[in-house]
Structure 1
Amino acid sequence: MNDIDLKQYIASIPDFPKPGILFYDIGSLMRNADAWQLATARMAHAVAPWQPDQLAAIESRGFLTAAPLSTRLGAGIVMLRKPGKLPGETISHSYDLEYGSDTLHIQAGAIQPGQRVVVTDDMLATGGTLAASIALLRKAGANVVGASVLMELTALRGREKVDVPVHALLSYDD
């Protein structure tokens, strides 16, 4: 099983969502039950040494990676969401993107001070959202011990924007 190349299950869609972009579709991986099980098992194996208390899932595809990991690791899940999506009091962090800005929220009290947290998402590209997620979690009192993503676009050098270890299950150079 260790010699199975999971990239064969990731569809590459040219010119999506706009011309010149090559989109890597995790939907094709998730549709194959065996490949998805293997992917989440490999991610859990990589994350386990960090001993997370919580997985912080970045909206929305991070929810898809956090759910199976939390079950395998015995960790809880906290959601990092866009404005207006969480009830009650929230803690927020705004950040700049290449073309504009965005804001992430977490529910106040979702993290206990000092809890070990691993951030999860489907993709690491430029690193802006991951860096903002780490900053938000630290505002909430988390001890962010790492980040785990299904795919990384290494040419965009996003991991250079974060100061925690990053595990990427699959890497693409283009």
Structure 2
Amino acid sequence: MMLANPRILNDTDQSPYYDERNLILKGVIMDLKDHIRGIPDFPKPGILFYDISTLLAEPDAWQVAMGRMAKIVSRHQPDILAGLDARGFLVAAPLALKLGLGFTMVRKKGKLPGETIQYDYDLEYGSNTIEIQADCVKPGQRVVILDDLLATGGTMEAAIKLFKDVGAEVVGTACMIELTFLNGRERLDGVPFDTLVAYDD
């Protein structure tokens, strides 16, 4: 088995990317929900869409969100971070860069070049397929899978099974937002899951 990446986040890291102590010293405890907007009836009637675009556009909120996520992810001592298509790339790629880790994409069928490995999974109505490139991880590598939001957990569950099938060790999962009323974390095969903010309805 490969050793975990030795570069981890610690309390001595002075990068502002990780450190919100300056905000705390100013008496500011940032609530990330203040920077996430709800858009009703998107992508279809009856759905309330939690949009992180407003958070991404606010530098302090984006830095704080990534700092908090970095602390979560680094606890798992990963070798590589995987982002789910497509907003998961926005979370996983900058974290991998800052933590000195590799990054790989989990994409919808037909979107990746070269040899790929597929995983088919069922949806409420129909099915879907996700893919990774065949050489993106090595057996024994420690993987953390990231997305922007966990809803029913179907795609995250499929990604966990896909990486396990190729011999990787899935040591954690995380999202910026969890819709707790959909019970998605119950589908994650016992893999640890963390979130920055949760909505109960």
Q: TM-score range by the shorter chain?
A: over 0.9
Tell me how many residue pairs correspond in the alignment: 174
Q: Indicate which of 126, 133, 147 corresponds to 1:121.
A: 147
Q: Indicate which of 92, 104, 115 corresponds to 1:66.
A: 92
Q: Which structure carries more strand by proportion?
A: 1
Aligned to 1:164: 191
Paired residue secondary structure (1:44):
helix
Summarize the alignment of residues 125-136 of structure 1 with structure 2, pairs less than 5 Å apart. Answer: 125-136=151-162
Paired residue secondary structure (2:44):
coil
Alpha-carbon offset, residue 114 of structure 1? 0.4
Aligned to 1:99: 125
Task: For 2:176, give the aligned amino acid.
Answer: L
Identity of aligned residues (%): 58
The 8 Å contact of residues 89 and 107 in structure 1, kept in 2 or not, is answered as yes
The 8 Å contact of residues 7 and 170 in structure 1, kept in 2 or not, is answered as yes
Find runs of 4+ consecutive structure 1 residues off by over 4 angstroms: none
Aligned to 1:56: 82
Q: Distance in 1 between matches of 2:84 and 2:166?
A: 15
The 8 Å contact of residues 109 and 140 in structure 1, kept in 2 or not, is answered as no
Paired residue secondary structure (2:145):
strand
Q: Structure 1, unaligned stretches of length 5 or more?
A: none
Q: Distance in 2 between matches of 1:49 and 1:164?
A: 14
- 1:25-68 Cα shifts (integer Å, max 9, x gaps): 01111010110011011000111110110001111001000111
Paired residue secondary structure (2:175):
strand
Q: Distance in 1 between matches of 2:196 and 2:148?
A: 10
Report the aligned-residue RMSD.
Answer: 0.9
Q: Distance in 2 between matches of 1:169 and 1:125?
A: 14
* TM-score, normalised by the number of residues in structure 2: 0.84
Aligned to 1:43: 69
Paired residue secondary structure (1:117):
strand
Task: For 2:33, give the aligned amino acid.
Answer: K
* TM-score, normalised by the number of residues in structure 1: 0.97
Q: Indicate which of 49, 63, 70 corresponds to 1:23.
A: 49
Alpha-carbon offset, residue 98 of structure 1? 1.4
- Which structure: larger Rg? 2
Aligned to 1:147: 173
Paired residue secondary structure (1:81):
strand
Aligned to 2:11: none
